[in-house]
Amino acid sequence: MLMSEIRALATPQIEAKLDDAREELFKLRFQFRTGQLTDYSRLRASRRTVARLATVVRERELAAQLAAQGEKA
């Protein structure tokens, strides 16, 4: 998923996708440890997807904090 696609989504949608991506990463790690995973590149892709989604969520949190501080001043 591209950053432009992620940024186009609403925050609740991003958080839902982040939960799904974290669950998928957990399952992939479990498969890796038990020797059932055949496509190891999925681990890297999943980690990167989680990072992208978390980055956008954090950016929006920081933007909201700055907006709140600007209103107080």
If one counts every other C-beta atom within 10 angstroms of the C-beta of residue 56, the result is 19
Long-range contacts of 25-29 (CB under 8 A, 24+ apart): 25/50
pLDDT tens for 8-63 read 999 999 999 999 999 999 999 999 999 999 999 999 999 999 999 999 999 999 99
Distance (Å, whole) CA 16 – CA 38: 27
Q: Please give the structure tokens belonging to residue 73.
A: 């001043």
CATH 3.20.20.140 fits 3-72, yes or no: no
- Using a pLDDT cut of 90, give the percent of the chain over it: 93
All residues at 6 or more sequence positions from 42 whose CB lies less than 8 Å from its CB, including other chains: 28
Would you kindly state where each structural domain of the chain is located, as residue ranges?
3-72
pLDDT at 35: 95
pLDDT at 72: 80
**Considering the chain, what is the average pLDDT of its residues?**
95
pLDDT at 73: 66
Give the torsion sign (CA, 57, 18, 29, 3): negative
